[in-house]
Amino acid sequence: MDNLAIIYDEKFLLHAPQFYHPENPQRITSILNLLKEKSFLNDVQIMRPALAPDEYILSAHSGEHLSLVRDSIFEGKNFIDSGDTYVVNDSWIAALLSAGSGLTAVDLVADKKAKNVFCLIRPPGHHAGVSTPMGFCLFNNIAIAAQYALQKYKLNRIAIVDWDVHHGNGTQEIFYDTEKVYYISLHQYPFYPGTGSEEERGAGKGFGYTLNFPLPPRTDGKKYLQLFDQYILTELKNFKPQMILISAGFDAHAKDPLADMKLDENDFALMTIKLNEFADKNNIAIISFLEGGYDLNALAKSVFEHLKILKQ
């Protein structure tokens, strides 16, 4: 069994804006270039993702959501929402492969072909809610993967740790009333998309299975690591997840143009170490999904540090 597999398809590059937009194909090519330069890919298997079948997209999204995304793309619209989530004709294949990546990743860890998996994907996913594509996200890739693991492999407890600088409102919404998925997010607050207060703890059976750490601008990596030590690792220990999924955005990096946090690439390595040690100790897998991160250089360096740990 390999320690790390990477899921990637060059069709992710086809989802390309016809104007300047921070969520663009260069994000992925800058990561790949650095990984090649560091010879990181010499002994890591790169797998192509499956296309997500409707059945699993519909486990996280409404039929209206699926139709809205499909119709907007094939009707030739430029934006799918009120203005920040662009689409082009090839966005459809990119979105299906991005959503399918988590399915391939879950199969790989279930078949013991990889201990950890990184989904090097776009469009990102964590803002896409039950019926709302938004925030550069068409389908909620990580939520679809979690639903797949719950349904196909009958898992009962999946932890999602979301350290993208923005609150993953979509993921929170999709799992708000279930005790099977524990959603934990650290994010700048108040900030886009507006959700993610401490009071949002889940509902019904899901009460206590949503945990938000809203953080002020200029929060540094030391604070993030303290929160892992003081709260998050204890929560994970009590929850006993059978799998950890990470919404790995790297836009909390100090150099990121879209946010105001103060992390550096080493902080992403240190957070990964904490989760990886927990996963090793409990003999469970980590599947990490690329979300945000908009300074190309900071993004590539941060992903490289993240992957070095996941490969150990």
Contact residue for Zn ion among 107, 251, 265, 295 (CB under 5 A): 251
Q: Which is nearer to Zn ion, 210 or 247 (CB)?
A: 247
Quote the CA–CA distance of 310 and 115 in Å, as a whole number.
Answer: 9
Longest Cα–Cα distance in the chain: 50
CB under 8 Å to 217, separation ≥6 — which residues? 188, 191, 259, 260, 261
Q: Nearest-CB residue to Zn ion?
A: 292
User: Does residue 127 have an active-site annotation?
Assistant: yes
Of the candidate spans 79-87, 168-176, 213-221, 242-250, the one that interacts with Zn ion by CB under 5 A turns out to be: 242-250
- Compose the 165-194 pattern: x for residues touching Zn ion by CB under 5 A, - for all others: -x----------------------------
Write the secondary structure of 176-240 as one string of H (helix), E (strand) and C (coil): CCCCCEEEEEEEECCCCCCCCCCCCCCCHHHCCCEEEEEECCCCEHHHHHHHHHHHHHHHHHHHC
Task: Report the alpha-carbon distance of residue 245 to residue 162 in Å, rounded.
Answer: 8
Q: How far is the CB of 185 from Zn ion (least distance, A)?
A: 11
Sheet with 210-215, strands from edge to edge, namely 45-47, 2-7, 114-119, 285-290, 243-248, 158-162, 181-188, 210-215
> Which among 26-34, 36-44, 52-60, 285-293 is the span making contact with Zn ion, rule CB under 5 A?
285-293
Helices (H), the chain: 26-37, 54-57, 63-74, 91-110, 141-152, 169-174, 221-227, 233-239, 265-282, 296-310
- Measured from the CB atom, is 84 or 177 closer to Zn ion? 84
Find the binder of Zn ion among 86, 249, 278, 300 (CB under 5 A): 249
Burial of 113 (0-12, 13-18, 19+ CB in 10 A): middle
Q: Per-residue x/- marks for Zn ion, 145-164, CB under 5 A?
A: -------------------x
Catalytic residue (choose from 61, 65, 126, 127): 127
Kindly state whether residue 49 participates in binding Zn ion, applying the rule CB under 5 A. Answer: no
Q: Around Cβ 90, how many Cβ atoms within 10 Å?
A: 15
Provide, rounded to whole angstroms, the least separation between the CB of residue 125 and Zn ion. 11
Amino acid 308 reads K
Nearer to Zn ion, 107 or 173 (CB): 173
C-beta closer to Zn ion: residue 259 or 285: 259
Q: Which stretch binds Zn ion (CB under 5 A): 87-95, 197-205, 241-249, 274-282?
A: 241-249
Task: Pick the stretch among 75-83, 177-185, 231-239, 247-255 that binds Zn ion (CB under 5 A).
Answer: 247-255
To the nearest whole angstrom, how small is the minimum distance from the Cβ of residue 55 to Zn ion? 28
Please tell me the count of residues contacting Zn ion according to CB under 5 A: 5
289's enclosing H/E stretch is strand 285-290
When the beta carbons of 115 and 126 are compared against Zn ion, the nearer one is 126
Rounded to the nearest whole angstrom, what is the least distance from the CB of residue 291 to Zn ion in the complex?
Answer: 6
Other beta carbons within 10 angstroms of residue 79's beta carbon come to 12
Q: Which is nearer to Zn ion, 128 or 284 (CB)?
A: 128
| Contacts to Zn ion by CB under 5 A | 164, 166, 249, 251, 292
- Residues serving a catalytic function are 127
